[in-house]
Chains A and B, each alone.
Chain A
Amino acid sequence: MKLIIEQILNGLTIGSFYSLIALGYSMVYGVMKLINFAHGDLFTFGSYLGYTFLVMGTAYVTSTLGVWGGMAAAMLIAAAGTGILGLIVERIAYRPIYPAGRLPAVVSALGASIFIQNAIMVIWGARPQAYTSDVIPNYMLNIAGLRINLLQIIILLLSFLLMGILYYVVQKTTFGAAIRASALDRETAALMGININLIIFFIFALGPALGGVAGVMVGIYYRKISFVMGWNYGLKAFTATILGGIGNIPGAMIGGLILGVLEMLGSTYISTAYKDVFVFLVLILVLIFRPTGLLGEKVAEKV
């Protein structure tokens, strides 16, 4: 019982990383009908930005802001930096080729992914880096006999808070309705006075920004980061997106959490080596029995 609660908590934590990243895929796909393959690498970039800020500037940052303050500042900086990079990617890799259709955009997205991944390697080196323990808060809580790291609780709460805010904006405000309307029918959205460039700006800044925050969270939670990690996280998050229903924002949140919990339970009770097999098996089953994903409404369009 103790183990299962711990594993579910761990699963939700990883799941919230997947959810935060998945939101970027889903928002961009919803409006642009484009899979932003560079998104996983934007997440990595955020993680490295946080690393530079916290670890390289550790003495200064942690002594002035404290460990919690330093962590918050690192997340803000990663969010801003990754958001800006997201906008640059849109401008350079996607905008010039929108008129060419969707297939060229996929190729360009892959190109952007490779470019960013290699740029990270050139800047920070090919060897993995580590968030050092002096920048990471470490308080253990004792809740009903369970020893839980406070950091994990904070990460979970913060993820839920960010997702809650995004959910509110997208589902409850007129601006959010404009995002959903642009995803459904961009031309008619223009007839409502909606400037599509404003929507594109929003999704390409906010999606990567959330990914950047997840990047810092991963660094703080696992310590070790590497320039190729965006591939693995990107793939999982993309799977979560499909699981929840691509283009569907609550779906991305739920898909990520389910995937994280499945992964943890699978590796605890079945086999660590096969945890990914387990995850993708679930994906395949969902796609067979509910091709639109758990919350998706529309049948996916052809790429």
Chain B
Amino acid sequence: MEALLKIDHLHIYYGSIQALKGISLEVTPGEIVCVLGANGAGKSTLLRAISGLLPISKGDILFCAKSLKKTEAYRIVIDGISHVPEGRRVFSTLSVEENLNLGAFNRRGNPQLVSERKDRVYNLFPILKQREKQLAGTLSGGEQQMLAIGRGLMSDPRLLLLDEPSLGLAPILVKQIFRIIKEINEQGVAILLVEQNARKALAIAHRGYVLETGNITISGLSKELQNNKKVQEAYLGGAALRRK
């Protein structure tokens, strides 16, 4: 199938520090693709480059076969890529509802449509409906993550970028978040998922990539990664367990 997102030998620098060293990657429609990697590997850098927050030094990012190299971040959302950033970044002094409304900022002229999309988000996360008028900063960590994902869905994206959605959540919430990610995907949204929780990520992803200090070192179907010795040792805690 034609790729929805195609990353072609992408180089990203922060000043003189090179964070991504010519990586290539693809997401096809309907897929969940996960990116695994240690702290500082460049996972967030990759997502930030896709959503237009970082300038591309070399290489290209194609979305629906169109280069995003010269597209500004706010345009990329309108084109159909939604980025749920690391650390949730909800607008803390705005209400839950205002946060959601902003997710569909470009459609603010069509309240009917915005309200339909909000209902869809409330269906996925009923707790947000109860918290509608509350300030986002007063939500619990798990609720803020749900809000961040819900807000990301408000633009009705074709591709959803999720940066460590399970970070800092209690195990029961982690389980719930992963279930919902799968549900969102089943509704037809392709997902590029960055995760520290490799076990859970590989369990729902179709394919995965391993990123190490700016290079992709391993890639393949989730099953292949789960069975890969190096992945087991480095990311699935297999070796650590055995050593004990």
Please list the residues of chain A having a beta carbon within 8 angstroms of any beta carbon in chain B: 173-175, 177-178, 180-181, 184-185, 187-196, 297
Contacts and interface: CB of A to CB of B under 8 A. Distances in A.
B74 A195 contact: yes
A190 B98 contact: no
A191 B92 contact: no
Interface residues of B, number: 27
Given A191-B73, A196-B74, 12 more contacts: A180-B93, A184-B93, A188-B89, A189-B102, A190-B72, A193-B74, A193-B77, A194-B74, A194-B102, A194-B105, A195-B72, A195-B74
Contacts of B106: 193
5 contacts: A177-B98, A178-B102, A187-B85, A188-B91, A193-B106
A247 to B, nearest CB: 11
Interface of B: 51-53, 72-75, 77-78, 82-83, 85, 89, 91-94, 98, 101-103, 105-106, 108, 114, 151, 155
Contacts of B74: 190, 192-196
A191 B74 CA distance: 6
Closest 6 CB pairs of A and B: A193-B77, A190-B73, A174-B108, A177-B98, A188-B89, A193-B106
B106 to A, nearest CB: 4
Given A180-B94, A184-B92, A185-B91, A190 B108 contact: no
Nearest to B135: A297
A191 B108 CA distance: 15
A177 B105 CA distance: 9
A191 B94 contact: no
A198 to B, nearest CB: 9
B77 A177 contact: no
B210 to A, nearest CB: 26
A178 B53 contact: no
Contact of B105 (A178, A180, A187): A178
A185 B89 contact: yes
Given A174-B108, A177-B98, A191 B51 contact: yes
Contacts of A195: 72, 74
Nearest to B102: A192
A266 B171 CA distance: 61
Nearest to B92: A184
B155 A297 contact: no
A187 B78 contact: no
Given A174-B105, A177-B101, A190 B53 contact: yes
B53 A192 contact: no
A230 B78 CA distance: 42
B172 to A, nearest CB: 27
A111 B231 CA distance: 59
Most chain B beta-carbon contacts within 10 A, residue among A174, A189, A191, A196: A191
B91 A193 contact: no
A196 B77 CA distance: 14
A181 B102 contact: yes
Contacts of A196: 74
Given A187-B53, A193-B78, A193-B155, A297 B93 contact: yes
A193 B107 CA distance: 10
Nearest to B82: A191
Contacts of B105: 174, 178, 192-194
A188 B85 contact: yes
A196 B72 CA distance: 11
Contacts of A181: 91, 94, 102
Nearest to A172: B98
B141 to A, nearest CB: 17
Contacts of A184: 91-94
A217 B184 CA distance: 56
Most chain A beta-carbon contacts within 10 A, residue among B74, B75, B89: B74
B89 A174 contact: no
Contacts of B101: 174, 177
Contacts of A180: 91, 93-94
A191 B93 contact: no
A185 B93 CA distance: 11
A193 B151 CA distance: 12
Contacts of B91: 177, 180-181, 184-185, 188
Contacts of B103: 192
Contacts of A175: 108
